[in-house]
Structure 1
Amino acid sequence: MKLQDWEILDALFATENITQAARRLFLSQPTLTSRIRSLEDYYGVTLIIRKQRGITFTPEGEVLARHARKMLSEQVHIEEKLSNMKQQVAGTLRVGVSNFFALNKMPKLLRLFKQKYPNVEFQVITGWSSEMYRRLLNHDVHIGFIKGDYSWKDHKELLYEEDICIASPWEFTWSTLPQLPRIDYNTDEKMWAIIDNWWYKNYKQHPNINIQVNQVETCKEMIINGLGYAILANLVVREHTDIITTPLHYPSGEAITRKTWMYYHDDSLQLNIVRAFVNFLRTIDVKAL
């Protein structure tokens, strides 16, 4: 089988849609369909079943698709090993990045790193920190940029710490906060836990949530336009001096913060590209970017 056949099976298994898989692989749908038929003829089994919307894999197809993912992973590892044997910083760095970090920090970091090492390429996966943590556990990425503390036996390095605060377009008093309009946004479970724990230790009533959005950047725009307050990390609104930020504190008086870490497996440092990137990060003030 060709490498492209493994990629086709993997893309179909991930998307369960011929159109989306073809688009992901930059193939025409007839080409992709023809390759699937050839694989079915070769193995003498039906691999996929077409539905009204998308496709589903047969048991035989699922076995082969999971094998395809394993083969692609082995291909990546052997390419990394061969590239590393050349004793140069080259190849593809695979990183998993939390959503805020991906939008506000990662583009600048990658640009600066590529200026120093022009022969590197990047594969960047974004999502919630909890998802990036799972990606790292599965060795899908070399390095994870993750908000919050997760159980981790290998290495992690603190990049920066930020205050959790009330971000408001107007002055307020703590006693009136439950009556004021609040804007909530989708985030990972650790951030939700921080917000809810603080709220219900200070108030008996539920917050007055009148707007719910998907992303913290959208939430920020709602605050800027005077539609309500939100509880978020202060770096989100750092550049907007007209937004009033009031840090949250534990009963002890200690500020409530959230840390952003760089997680990686120790054995990943055997790769020149990973070792170079980790050393590069140690020279950068990431919070100031």
Structure 2
Amino acid sequence: MDEKDWVAIKVLYEEKNISRASERLFISQPALTYRLKNLEKELGTELFYKIKGGTEFTSEGVYLAEYAEEMIKKLQQTKDYMLNMREEVRGTLRIGVSSNFAQYKLPKLLKKFSIEYPNVQFSVHTGWSTGIMNLLNSSSVHLGILRGNYDWYGVKTILHEERLYLISKHEIDINKLPELPFIHYQTDSSLKNLINGWWHDRFSEPPVVTMEIDRQETCKEMVKNDLGVAILPEICLQPSDNLYTYGLSYKNDTPVLRSTCLMYNKEALQLSTVKNFVDFLNQNSNL
């Protein structure tokens, strides 16, 4: 078995479908089938069987898929450390970043870092913080930038904190918020819990939810068109939005804040790419 075999097994195990797996691998379906049949012949056992709508793995196939994922990680670690043995900072930095930070902060940070370290490439995964947490736990990324409060056994550093804001097209009385049309949007559980916690601290009745939106930017556009009010993190707001904003506080006047944290394993600092990027982030988190 070689690296291409490991990747093919891993992708097929994730997709459970030859057609989708071949698309992800950028090879033809017959070529993938041929590779897999040769692999079964080499190992002398059946690894997969067809089912309606896809492919299922035998117990031997499941074992091999787990082995393949482990070998891919070990090979990547070996490549990382081999590159790290050179004096110059070079290699691929694998990072997982929450969607909001990726949209509003990450491009400038990566641009500035790449100017200082032109031989570093980036492998970036973005998504909700819960998904980034999974990438960290599986060692699929060197480090993660997450928003919200998550338990982590490694190094965890707060890059900055931001306030949550109620936004509206026209000036409103925040005490009458339960009477106004409220716009919800899909987000990760940490932000959802923070918003719900503030609401229950301030009001006894639930919000009048008139819209369920899939993205924060779409939600903001709805507010701009006077279709309701919403609560967004400060990172999403710009002066050009021309909206009324109200910083949220609990009844005891404590502001409602959300943290952005940098998380990684201490061992990852042995890689010069990771160490230099961590130092860079700590110095430039306010960009």
Amino acid at match of 1:229: V
Tell me the number of residue pairs that the alignment of Structure 1 and Structure 2 aligns: 287
1:154-212 Cα deviation digits (max 9, x unpaired):
32222221111111122211233112111111111111111111112222222111111
Tell me if the contact between 1:168 and 1:229 (Cα under 8 Å) persists in the aligned partners: yes
Aligned twin of 1:264: 264
Flag structure 2 segments of 5+ consecutive residues without an equivalent: none
**Aligned equivalents of 1:98 and 1:237: distance in 2?**
17
1:82-126 Cα deviation digits (max 9, x unpaired):
111112211111101111112222222222212221211111112
1:30-74 Cα deviation digits (max 9, x unpaired):
211211111122223322233343322222211111110001001
Once the two structures are TM-superposed, the CA of residue 221 in structure 1 deviates from its matched residue by 2.0
**Aligned equivalents of 1:52 and 1:211: distance in 2?**
38
Distance 1:228 1:17, change over 3 A: farther
Equivalences for residues 36-51 of structure 1 within 5 A? 36-51=36-51
Aligned twin of 1:191: 191
Distance 1:57 1:218, change over 3 A: farther
Aligned twin of 2:206: 206
Aligned twin of 2:67: 67
Flag structure 1 segments of 5+ consecutive residues without an equivalent: none
Tell me if the contact between 1:167 and 1:231 (Cα under 8 Å) persists in the aligned partners: yes
**Aligned equivalents of 1:120 and 1:220: distance in 2?**
36
Once the two structures are TM-superposed, the CA of residue 20 in structure 1 deviates from its matched residue by 2.6
Tell me if the contact between 2:100 and 2:235 (Cα under 8 Å) persists in the aligned partners: no
Note the aligned Cα RMSD (angstroms).
1.7
Distance 1:256 1:270, change over 3 A: same
Aligned twin of 1:277: 277
**Aligned equivalents of 2:200 and 2:283: distance in 1?**
40
**Aligned equivalents of 1:52 and 1:107: distance in 2?**
44
Aligned twin of 1:12: 12
Aligned twin of 1:255: 255
Q: Secondary structure at the match of 2:283?
A: coil
Further displaced range: 219-228 or 60-69? 219-228
Distance 1:64 1:239, change over 3 A: farther
Q: Secondary structure at the match of 1:170?
A: coil
Amino acid at match of 1:236: C
Q: Secondary structure at the match of 1:157?
A: strand
**Aligned equivalents of 1:204 and 1:164: distance in 2?**
20
Further displaced range: 235-244 or 271-280? 235-244
Amino acid at match of 2:238: R
**Aligned equivalents of 2:54 and 2:110: distance in 1?**
36
Equivalences for residues 126-141 of structure 1 within 5 A? 126-141=126-141
Amino acid at match of 1:198: W
